[in-house]
Amino acid sequence: SSSSISTAGSGNRADLEREQQGRVELRERYLRSLFAMAGHTVHFTMYERVNVSASFDASDIDILNFQVSNLQTPLGVHREALLRCSDIISYTFEL
Amino acid sequence: TTKRSVQPPAERPGERRMAEMKKLYGVGAAKIQAMETAMQLAFDRNCDEKQPKYWPVIPLKL
Amino acid sequence: MSEWQRKNPLEWQTYVNKEVKVTAAEKHEYKGWVLTIDPVSANIVLGKLMEDGKISVSVILGHAVKEVEIGNEGDDEMKEQLAHLFMPEESKAYGQ
Protein backbone atom coordinates (compact mmCIF):
# COMPACT_ATOMS: atom_id res chain seq x y z
CA SER A 1 0.00 0.00 0.00
CA SER A 2 3.04 2.25 0.07
CA SER A 3 3.29 2.38 -3.70
CA SER A 4 1.53 5.43 -5.06
CA ILE A 5 0.59 3.56 -8.21
CA SER A 6 -1.20 0.80 -6.35
CA THR A 7 -3.34 3.28 -4.42
CA ALA A 8 -5.23 4.11 -7.58
CA GLY A 9 -7.73 1.29 -8.02
CA SER A 10 -7.67 -0.49 -11.34
CA GLY A 11 -11.24 0.64 -11.99
CA ASN A 12 -10.39 4.27 -11.48
CA ARG A 13 -8.65 5.43 -14.58
CA ALA A 14 -9.28 9.11 -13.90
CA ASP A 15 -7.46 8.89 -10.56
CA LEU A 16 -4.50 7.19 -12.17
CA GLU A 17 -4.31 9.85 -14.88
CA ARG A 18 -4.47 12.63 -12.31
CA GLU A 19 -1.65 11.04 -10.40
CA GLN A 20 0.42 10.60 -13.57
CA GLN A 21 -0.20 14.21 -14.58
CA GLY A 22 0.85 15.37 -11.12
CA ARG A 23 4.02 13.30 -11.32
CA VAL A 24 4.84 14.75 -14.75
CA GLU A 25 4.47 18.35 -13.51
CA LEU A 26 6.57 17.76 -10.40
CA ARG A 27 9.28 15.81 -12.24
CA GLU A 28 9.50 18.26 -15.17
CA ARG A 29 9.98 21.18 -12.79
CA TYR A 30 12.63 19.30 -10.86
CA LEU A 31 14.56 18.33 -14.01
CA ARG A 32 14.36 21.94 -15.19
CA SER A 33 15.77 23.09 -11.86
CA LEU A 34 18.76 20.79 -12.47
CA PHE A 35 19.32 22.20 -15.97
CA ALA A 36 19.01 25.71 -14.55
CA MET A 37 21.62 24.86 -11.90
CA ALA A 38 24.25 23.69 -14.42
CA GLY A 39 27.22 26.04 -14.45
CA HIS A 40 26.21 27.73 -11.20
CA THR A 41 28.08 27.66 -7.93
CA VAL A 42 26.17 25.48 -5.50
CA HIS A 43 26.64 25.29 -1.74
CA PHE A 44 26.17 21.85 -0.25
CA THR A 45 25.31 21.15 3.37
CA MET A 46 26.35 17.58 4.05
CA TYR A 47 26.09 15.27 7.03
CA GLU A 48 28.51 15.70 9.94
CA ARG A 49 28.39 19.51 9.47
CA VAL A 50 30.51 19.29 6.32
CA ASN A 51 30.03 22.30 4.01
CA VAL A 52 31.41 22.46 0.48
CA SER A 53 30.77 24.40 -2.71
CA ALA A 54 31.23 23.47 -6.35
CA SER A 55 30.14 24.23 -9.87
CA PHE A 56 27.31 21.82 -10.70
CA ASP A 57 27.56 19.99 -14.03
CA ALA A 58 25.09 17.08 -14.12
CA SER A 59 23.15 14.50 -12.17
CA ASP A 60 22.23 10.93 -12.91
CA ILE A 61 18.49 10.52 -13.46
CA ASP A 62 17.95 8.54 -10.27
CA ILE A 63 19.32 11.55 -8.34
CA LEU A 64 21.95 9.43 -6.62
CA ASN A 65 25.12 11.25 -7.76
CA PHE A 66 26.00 14.83 -8.68
CA GLN A 67 28.95 15.42 -10.99
CA VAL A 68 30.67 18.71 -10.09
CA SER A 69 33.78 20.76 -10.88
CA ASN A 70 36.04 22.96 -8.77
CA LEU A 71 34.91 21.40 -5.52
CA GLN A 72 36.03 23.49 -2.55
CA THR A 73 36.35 21.38 0.57
CA PRO A 74 37.75 22.21 4.02
CA LEU A 75 40.81 20.15 3.03
CA GLY A 76 41.42 21.52 -0.44
CA VAL A 77 40.15 21.87 -3.98
CA HIS A 78 39.28 19.06 -6.39
CA ARG A 79 38.99 19.90 -10.05
CA GLU A 80 36.46 17.13 -10.74
CA ALA A 81 34.36 15.16 -8.29
CA LEU A 82 31.25 13.10 -7.69
CA LEU A 83 29.05 13.79 -4.67
CA ARG A 84 26.77 11.08 -3.30
CA CYS A 85 23.30 12.48 -2.80
CA SER A 86 23.02 10.26 0.29
CA ASP A 87 25.78 12.40 1.89
CA ILE A 88 23.90 15.66 1.22
CA ILE A 89 21.25 17.24 3.46
CA SER A 90 20.60 20.28 1.26
CA TYR A 91 22.02 22.41 -1.54
CA THR A 92 21.53 26.07 -2.43
CA PHE A 93 22.19 28.24 -5.46
CA GLU A 94 21.12 31.64 -6.78
CA LEU A 95 19.47 32.57 -10.03
CA THR B 1 23.22 -22.47 -42.50
CA THR B 2 22.18 -20.83 -39.25
CA LYS B 3 19.57 -22.41 -37.13
CA ARG B 4 16.47 -20.36 -36.66
CA SER B 5 15.67 -19.62 -33.05
CA VAL B 6 12.23 -20.60 -31.90
CA GLN B 7 12.59 -18.32 -28.90
CA PRO B 8 10.60 -15.09 -29.00
CA PRO B 9 12.85 -12.07 -29.37
CA ALA B 10 14.23 -11.02 -26.00
CA GLU B 11 12.57 -8.01 -24.49
CA ARG B 12 14.82 -5.05 -25.04
CA PRO B 13 15.81 -2.96 -21.98
CA GLY B 14 14.69 0.23 -23.68
CA GLU B 15 11.18 -1.12 -24.20
CA ARG B 16 10.94 -2.27 -20.63
CA ARG B 17 11.99 1.14 -19.39
CA MET B 18 9.47 2.87 -21.63
CA ALA B 19 6.71 0.62 -20.26
CA GLU B 20 7.68 1.62 -16.73
CA MET B 21 7.79 5.28 -17.72
CA LYS B 22 4.30 5.00 -19.23
CA LYS B 23 2.96 3.53 -16.03
CA LEU B 24 4.45 6.34 -13.97
CA TYR B 25 3.97 9.31 -16.29
CA GLY B 26 1.18 8.33 -18.66
CA VAL B 27 0.92 10.58 -21.71
CA GLY B 28 3.84 12.70 -20.39
CA ALA B 29 6.27 9.76 -20.43
CA ALA B 30 8.07 10.66 -23.66
CA LYS B 31 8.63 14.26 -22.56
CA ILE B 32 10.06 13.23 -19.20
CA GLN B 33 12.20 10.54 -20.79
CA ALA B 34 13.66 13.04 -23.28
CA MET B 35 14.67 15.38 -20.45
CA GLU B 36 16.10 12.53 -18.40
CA THR B 37 18.09 11.25 -21.35
CA ALA B 38 19.63 14.69 -21.90
CA MET B 39 20.68 14.89 -18.25
CA GLN B 40 22.00 11.33 -18.12
CA LEU B 41 23.97 11.81 -21.36
CA ALA B 42 25.68 14.89 -19.92
CA PHE B 43 26.46 12.96 -16.72
CA ASP B 44 27.84 9.92 -18.55
CA ARG B 45 29.87 11.98 -20.99
CA ASN B 46 31.43 14.09 -18.23
CA CYS B 47 32.21 11.02 -16.14
CA ASP B 48 33.93 9.41 -19.15
CA GLU B 49 35.94 12.50 -20.01
CA LYS B 50 36.80 13.82 -16.55
CA GLN B 51 36.94 10.64 -14.48
CA PRO B 52 35.67 12.33 -11.31
CA LYS B 53 36.32 10.54 -8.02
CA TYR B 54 33.87 10.35 -5.14
CA TRP B 55 34.27 12.97 -2.47
CA PRO B 56 34.52 12.16 0.30
CA VAL B 57 36.11 8.80 -0.48
CA ILE B 58 34.18 7.14 2.36
CA PRO B 59 30.44 7.95 2.54
CA LEU B 60 29.49 10.33 5.35
CA LYS B 61 26.23 8.50 5.93
CA LEU B 62 25.56 4.75 6.42
CA MET C 1 11.69 5.07 3.70
CA SER C 2 10.19 7.95 5.62
CA GLU C 3 6.58 9.04 5.57
CA TRP C 4 7.63 12.01 3.44
CA GLN C 5 9.28 9.79 0.82
CA ARG C 6 6.22 7.54 0.61
CA LYS C 7 3.74 10.29 -0.29
CA ASN C 8 2.13 10.16 -3.73
CA PRO C 9 2.31 12.96 -6.31
CA LEU C 10 -1.13 14.32 -5.47
CA GLU C 11 -0.14 14.67 -1.82
CA TRP C 12 3.15 16.37 -2.75
CA GLN C 13 1.29 18.75 -5.06
CA THR C 14 -0.68 20.17 -2.12
CA TYR C 15 2.61 21.76 -0.93
CA VAL C 16 3.43 23.50 -4.22
CA ASN C 17 3.22 27.31 -4.06
CA LYS C 18 2.91 27.25 -0.28
CA GLU C 19 5.34 28.72 2.18
CA VAL C 20 6.79 25.97 4.33
CA LYS C 21 9.25 25.35 7.11
CA VAL C 22 11.26 22.18 6.57
CA THR C 23 13.06 20.51 9.44
CA ALA C 24 15.85 18.30 8.15
CA ALA C 25 18.49 15.94 9.51
CA GLU C 26 20.93 17.29 12.11
CA LYS C 27 18.39 19.98 13.08
CA HIS C 28 18.82 22.06 9.93
CA GLU C 29 15.80 24.27 9.15
CA TYR C 30 14.71 25.86 5.89
CA LYS C 31 11.94 28.28 4.96
CA GLY C 32 10.72 29.16 1.52
CA TRP C 33 8.07 28.72 -1.16
CA VAL C 34 7.72 25.24 -2.56
CA LEU C 35 8.51 25.22 -6.30
CA THR C 36 8.34 21.47 -6.73
CA ILE C 37 9.01 18.13 -5.11
CA ASP C 38 10.87 15.58 -7.19
CA PRO C 39 8.69 12.45 -7.31
CA VAL C 40 11.78 10.25 -7.78
CA SER C 41 13.90 11.48 -4.84
CA ALA C 42 11.27 13.38 -2.78
CA ASN C 43 13.69 16.34 -2.83
CA ILE C 44 11.92 19.59 -1.91
CA VAL C 45 12.79 22.67 -4.00
CA LEU C 46 12.25 25.97 -2.15
CA GLY C 47 12.46 29.44 -3.66
CA LYS C 48 13.09 32.69 -1.85
CA LEU C 49 13.23 36.23 -3.22
CA MET C 50 16.40 38.04 -2.14
CA GLU C 51 16.66 41.77 -1.50
CA ASP C 52 18.90 42.22 -4.53
CA GLY C 53 16.16 40.75 -6.75
CA LYS C 54 17.88 37.42 -7.18
CA ILE C 55 16.15 34.19 -6.35
CA SER C 56 17.72 31.80 -3.89
CA VAL C 57 16.85 28.17 -4.54
CA SER C 58 17.35 25.67 -1.73
CA VAL C 59 16.77 21.96 -2.14
CA ILE C 60 16.36 19.63 0.82
CA LEU C 61 17.09 16.00 -0.02
CA GLY C 62 14.08 13.74 0.45
CA HIS C 63 15.99 11.28 2.63
CA ALA C 64 16.95 14.10 5.03
CA VAL C 65 13.43 15.55 5.46
CA LYS C 66 12.09 15.15 9.00
CA GLU C 67 9.07 17.45 9.01
CA VAL C 68 7.31 19.87 6.64
CA GLU C 69 5.00 22.52 8.11
CA ILE C 70 2.79 24.56 5.83
CA GLY C 71 2.67 28.29 6.57
CA ASN C 72 1.01 30.88 4.38
CA GLU C 73 -0.86 30.29 1.18
CA GLY C 74 1.23 31.96 -1.51
CA ASP C 75 0.32 35.61 -1.98
CA ASP C 76 -0.42 36.33 -5.60
CA GLU C 77 2.62 38.46 -6.32
CA MET C 78 4.96 35.88 -4.86
CA LYS C 79 3.20 33.14 -6.77
CA GLU C 80 3.64 35.06 -10.03
CA GLN C 81 7.34 35.54 -9.43
CA LEU C 82 8.16 32.04 -8.33
CA ALA C 83 5.58 29.76 -9.86
CA HIS C 84 6.95 30.11 -13.38
CA LEU C 85 10.61 29.83 -12.43
CA PHE C 86 11.11 26.36 -13.86
CA MET C 87 8.24 26.31 -16.32
CA PRO C 88 8.78 25.64 -20.03
CA GLU C 89 8.16 29.18 -21.34
CA GLU C 90 10.82 30.76 -19.15
CA SER C 91 13.37 27.99 -19.25
CA LYS C 92 16.24 27.67 -21.62
CA ALA C 93 16.38 24.61 -23.78
CA TYR C 94 17.72 21.68 -21.84
CA GLY C 95 19.21 19.84 -24.77
CA GLN C 96 22.85 20.33 -25.63
CA end-to-end span of chain B, whole Å? Answer: 56
Chain C contact present for B42, CB below 8 A: yes
**Structural domain count, chain B:** 1
Asked if residues C33 and C18 have their Cβ atoms less than 8 Å apart, the reply is yes
Question: Does the distance separating the beta carbons of C87 and A33 come in below 8 Å?
Answer: no
Is B58 inside any structural domain?
Answer: no
- Name, in order, each residue with C-beta under 8 angstroms of C90's C-beta and a sequence gap of 6 or more: C84
In order along its 95 residues, chain A shows pLDDT tens digits of 344 455 545 558 999 999 999 999 999 999 999 999 999 999 999 999 999 999 999 999 999 999 999 999 999 999 999 999 999 999 999 99
> CA nearest B50 in A: which residue?
A80
Looking at the domain assignment, is residue B7 inside a domain? no
- CA dist A17 and A21 (Å) reads 6
- Residues of chain A found within 8 Å of residue C10, distances taken between Cβ atoms: 18-19, 22
Q: In what order do the strands lie in the sheet with A41-46?
A: B53-54, A76-84, A65-73, A51-59, A41-46, A88-94, C55-60, C44-49, C29-37, C18-24, C65-73
Domain span at B18 = 13-50
Q: Express each pLDDT in B4-60 by its tens digit.
A: 556 666 777 778 888 999 999 999 999 999 999 999 999 999 999 999 999 999 999
Topology given in CATH for the domain delimited by C3-72:
SH3 type barrels. (2.30.30)
Q: Where are the domains of chain C?
A: 3-72
